[in-house]
Amino acid sequence: MVLWMSELKLPKRYEYIVSVLSRVERRRIPLKSGLEDIFSEESVDWRVRSTVTAHVLGILRNFRLIDQAINLTLKKGSIHMFKPELKNILRVAVYDIHIRRAVPAKTATMVAVNLAKKMLGDSIARLVNALLRQIENFEIEKVLEREDKAEVLALKYSHPTWFVRYIIELLGEEEAIKLLSTNNSPAPVWLRVNTLKTERDRLIKVLEREGTKVTLDSDLPDVLKVIESRKPPVRLSSFSKGLFYIQDKASVLAGHVLNPKPGELIVDVCAAPGGKTSHIAQLMENEGKIIAIDISRLRIRALKNNMKRLGVKIVETKVMDARKIPEKLKVEADRVIVDPSCSSTGNFRSRPEVRLWIKKKDVKRFAKLQWEILNAAAEIVKEGGTLMYSTCSLTLEENEHLIKRFLDEKNTFKITKAEPFIGNPGFSDLTDTQRLFPHIHDTEGFFIAKLIKMG
């Protein structure tokens, strides 16, 4: 009874968890957006939000293992025949029973049944109760009893099987396992110092007063890594004042590789929400002009808000399909950065929700879009200018293969070393491109290629 009283707050928290997971899965939106949607509907303390976020991330990092345990319990069919809310009520319970193990199995079942009754009705609640009573005594290790090694790893680490096979072929089994394991650990929080408003050492002192400990990065001078924080960095006063931007180290590296200069004209393609845009502006010391392009009016609005908070004054925004740049943007740019939509296979650590829906066929679809955008962007680079291409994907099709094809077909461009060079050399003999990996560099999986337009 004492235990149950201590768990009285769980159902409401679990309602948030199920709602977030269901919204993300149904709409295929980023987890961050799903959380914003749910918590904007009512006032929720940031501590509750942090707890919900951690719980959701744990489920997403184990969803294939969980789903298969449920499938083995069902008499026929699979979890995928259920609507998202039912799927996620079951996932939450199985996660608590067999992986998190923070409450007794019977308590987890009781919470799930009550939640099902509230959200889906009595008949579904009875189904949930019947399934979970069987799963309470299930040996989850049985899920991994199969001969196909790639499928075992895919289930164990909850990655798409096609991706596991792909990454084993690309990196070898030993490195692939390290990558998969790292993807299931909490992603680091990297901060980029906004030198338009402060200096690195001054920011470190401000952060310390706010209860946030950081460490210097040995590669990039404007990057800090969060070691400990009483509050999420986004809740800090220094964040609201625009003293820093939360940005992965690999993404910050892209700005340094572009190497923009004060007074130049820069075009940032697929720019929103503006992490690279604002970094480029600070490297330019707020002198010159940046044209930031994105197809989404909503994302451009977010970019404008970020520029205002960060004190960036040299950005002109355009809502535009990047494939139509040559006909709609009559400029000759000193530097153009193309960071297009991709399969996000390099983001499986920070965005495990992508694993729910990304398919092998999506890689081909994204590569086609990236090719069209890169070719369009190349048209506005002036002679002697720079064209930089980056993605947060690990596939060859979206990276080296695309760049090799571009160089073969565009003899006016040549590749140059992507410096500062802190990653691994690219594949397919493109050693001047660089890749960063979660298990090696503690960043997102990232690719950068730097090209020069010859006269």
Are 266 and 335 in contact, with CB atoms under 8 Å apart? Answer: yes
Long-range contacts of 31-37 (CB under 8 A, 24+ apart): 31/56, 31/57, 31/60, 31/351, 31/352, 31/353, 34/353
The catalytically annotated residue of 57, 180, 267, 392 is: 392
The DSSP H or E segment spanning 39 is: helix 31-40
How far, in Å, CA of 315 to CA of 188, rounded?
29
Cα–Cα nearest to 390, from 242, 253, 211: 253
Greatest C-alpha distance within the chain: 79
Are 177 and 403 in contact, with CB atoms under 8 Å apart? Answer: no
Are 290 and 277 in contact, with CB atoms under 8 Å apart? Answer: yes
Tokens of 43: 């006032």
Q: Exposed/middle/buried for 348, CB within 10 Å: 0-12, 13-18, 19+? A: buried
Are 17 and 56 in contact, with CB atoms under 8 Å apart? Answer: yes
Respond yes or no: is residue 392 known to be catalytic: yes
Q: Exposed/middle/buried for 208, CB within 10 Å: 0-12, 13-18, 19+? A: exposed
Question: What length does the chain have?
Answer: 455
Catalytic (active-site) positions: 392
